[in-house]
Chains A and B, each alone.
Chain A
Amino acid sequence: MHRDNEVANAFALRDGSNIAVIGGGPAGSFFSIFALKMARMLDREFNITIFEPKDFTQDGPRGCNRCGGIISELLVQTLAVEGINLPDSVIRKGIHSYKLHTNHGHVYIATPDFERTIATVYRGGGPKGMMKEGKESFDNFLLTQAVKEGAVHESLRIDRIEYKNKRPVLFSRNDEIMEAGLVVGAFGVNSTTAKIFEDLGFGYKEPSTVTAAIVEIHMSKDIVLKYFGNSIHLFLLPDRGIKFAAMIPKGSYVTLCILGQNISAGIVNDFLNKPVVKGVLPKTSSYSIECRCLPKMNIRAPKRPFADRLVMCGDAGSTRLFKDGLGAAYLMGKAAAKTAVFQGVSKEHFQKDYHPVYRSIVIDNYYGKYLYAIIDICRGNSILTKGMLSVVRKEQDIFFDRRKILSSILWDMFTGNERYRNIFPKALDLRTHLSLWKESAKALVKGEI
């Protein structure tokens, strides 16, 4: 009872409260944008400070939050409905189709009417020398939106948090920076900041991660257009370590992302030398590799993503497995903002209003794991791969979208258009299995293996 009263009285954010957001990537900016929009609706005022040492207007590593930079159709549309319209200056390319490459051929899957519903962006200024293209980065756009809503951006790295009078106090280089009514942990998985939160002792543990790879391939705009068009090129190959790889066109660059268990520089080199990959790229003299990195990727969410006056957003908490991490950052940022503004900032408030959204992503990833297991079987077996290609090719001639089941499974899996849970029933559809087995049997009989 005592705690209930305390929660109601002490953990509602008062006007003028300080909110400290650690990390100005998408999760931190989304939290700030929505918290400020919602506060204004209630005639409330909070002081939100976003701590972010990176400068997203800079090219090269100084401004880069290493990522494939695909904004899913669902996120593009949801943001537009929210009134956060991605300006042309942020978009490197509008995407209307995926081209799926295997060792046994390729197949296209496209949006209805070839509407370009997916966007590709750079998270910072892009590879070195890219600034002259006069574009803006996605992270800078969001951070600027947050500042326009009223947030303050401090170019500082927070390196310590202590509790004073039951309130978190933030430090940078031993200077006390501020006492906060709420601290939002939006620091991703690519820094050592998780340790600060682990040390606070409320049970938070850094999310489990795998190492992925990003390679920026430079070529002329015309060559990008000729070889890649408005399509993302996806590779499903029978390699043990690689789940899938994607080549993502962006102006005069193509970003190659390789996702899998633990990708190393050697795996990247092997991948680039595969015949199927060489077949997609133009001749070697037409492109150059500008930079490579091996960022970490969240694959399992921590159990305790909140405490009194503390909440995690984006990759520091839960994210969608192998896709649409930016969409998950939006969902978690907004859920945390709604809870803080409309309810309060105690662990009970977060448990009741924020945790259901967090958990829904965690549960969705279980469905995702199952679906990837099916895809792993298909890509590992040449008969099934051929069967899959054949079914998808046949589906392209069908008029009704409802009957293009395998195409829509693959589309939704890789574009981030659907939650895994919504794809799952399609994967159990008997018709899909029958046509897959039929086409695979044909491939077997033809002896094309």
Chain B
Amino acid sequence: MKEGELLGRSYSNGEIIFREGEKGEAMYVIQAGKVKITKSTASGDVTIATLESGDIFGEMSLFDRLPRSATATVYGDARILSIDKKKLFASIDKDPTLVFKILETMSKRIRRLNEDFTALKKNRSGILKISFSVEDTCNMILEEARNLIKADNGSVMLLTDDEKSLSIKAAFGTEADSKLKLAVWDGIAGDVIRIGRAELVNNVTMDSRF
């Protein structure tokens, strides 16, 4: 039987069902095909999950009333059934046990996240231990920072052996120059190393030390 005759709405490869940050008015059940759930980070999109036929998604925004936490994109062709928030809540009001399956799905996801998180923690300390190169370690630190803060430029500097200057061990962005060395008293980084305390500068261009 042709796809167009079956249940749900047909989507083609790459079509976006909802975007991160949008308001959520429906949840979805995959009838056929696959859907990729991705989250955008400063260093690009990260795939959180690839869901398949029978899987539910988009339920989080309905319950926490926050914007969509990730983007759902069709992978290959797919057929998806939408479930309207108002109708779902009216049914749950009459029969609260309807949430059992949604809770089960959510608990499975939390369990998987816990496992991923534990594995990630283990892996990270492992990676740090086996990473003998100072540059690799600095790059890793910078990469992690980049995942947390959206930034155009960034660098990790280390004090040179003679303690007179800062040398850039990892950097990204247009102004990145890994060969550059700064005198230890220069700029914001100089201040941080001298005083020994982290500093948060929201707009560097307004800072006279930049």
Interface positions of A (Cβ within 8 A of B): 37-38, 41, 74, 76-78, 80-83, 85-86, 88, 91, 93-94, 113-117, 119, 225, 230, 251, 334, 338
Contact = CB atoms under 8 A, between A and B. Distances in A.
Interface stretch (B3-11, B125-133, B170-178, B190-198): B3-11
B87 A77 contact: yes
Interface string B1-24: 100111111000000000000000
Nearest to A84: B101
Contact of A76 (B81, B95, B97): B81
B82 interface: yes
Of the listed residues A83, A334, A338, the one surrounded by the most CB atoms of chain B closer than 10 A to its CB is A83
B145 interface: no
A119 B1 CA distance: 14
Contacts of A77: 81, 83-84, 87-88
Interface in B91-124: 91, 95, 97-98, 100-102, 104
B101 A83 contact: yes
Contact of B6 (A80, A85, A91): A91
B124 to A, nearest CB: 36
Contacts, number: 71
Interface in B38-53: 53
B98 A116 contact: no
A70 to B, nearest CB: 12
Given A74-B87, A80-B81, A81-B101, A115 B9 contact: yes
Given A77-B87, A338-B97, A117 B32 contact: no
Contacts of B5: 93-94, 116, 225, 230
A71 to B, nearest CB: 9
Given A78-B98, A91-B7, 20 more contacts: A74-B91, A77-B84, A81-B29, A81-B91, A81-B102, A82-B101, A83-B54, A83-B104, A85-B53, A85-B54, A88-B6, A93-B5, A94-B6, A115-B9, A116-B5, A116-B7, A117-B8, A119-B7, A230-B5, A334-B97
Most buried by A among B7, B101, B102: B7
Nearest to A80: B29
Instruction: Choose among B56, B81, B102 the residue with the greatest number of A CB atoms under 10 Å from its CB.
Output: B81
Contacts of B54: 83, 85
Given A78-B98, A334-B95, A86 B87 contact: no
B31 interface: yes
Interface of B: 1, 4-9, 29, 31-32, 53-54, 56, 81-84, 87-88, 91, 95, 97-98, 100-102, 104
Contacts of A38: 97
Interface on chain B toward A: helix, strand, loop, or mixed SS?
mixed
Nearest to B32: A88
Nearest to A89: B1
A259 to B, nearest CB: 24
A338 B100 CA distance: 13
A85 B91 contact: no
Contacts of B31: 85, 88
A113 B17 CA distance: 13
B181 to A, nearest CB: 60
A115 to B, nearest CB: 4
A21 B98 CA distance: 23
Contacts of B100: 37, 41
Contacts of B4: 230
Contact of B9 (A74, A86, A113, A225): A113
A64 to B, nearest CB: 21
Contacts of A80: 29, 56, 81, 83
A114 B8 CA distance: 9
B102 A94 contact: no
Contacts of A230: 4-5
A86 B102 CA distance: 17
B13 to A, nearest CB: 19
B34 to A, nearest CB: 15
Nearest to B27: A81
Nearest to A119: B7
Most buried by A among B5, B29, B56, B87: B5
7 closest A-B pairs (Cβ-Cβ)? A94-B7, A80-B29, A83-B101, A115-B9, A94-B6, A77-B83, A85-B54
A348 B141 CA distance: 66
B27 to A, nearest CB: 8
A80 B81 CA distance: 9
B98 A81 contact: yes
Contacts of B88: 77, 81
A83 B54 CA distance: 7
20 contacts: A74-B91, A77-B83, A77-B84, A77-B87, A80-B29, A80-B83, A81-B101, A83-B101, A85-B53, A85-B54, A88-B6, A88-B31, A113-B9, A114-B9, A115-B82, A116-B5, A116-B7, A119-B7, A230-B4, A230-B5
B101 A116 contact: no
B8 A94 contact: yes
B7 A86 contact: yes
Contacts of B101: 81-83
Counting chain B CB atoms within 10 Å of each CB, the highest count among A74, A80, A86, A119 belongs to A80
A230 B100 CA distance: 33
A389 B88 CA distance: 31
B29 A85 contact: yes
B194 to A, nearest CB: 60
Contacts of A338: 97
A12 B126 CA distance: 55
Contacts of A76: 7, 81
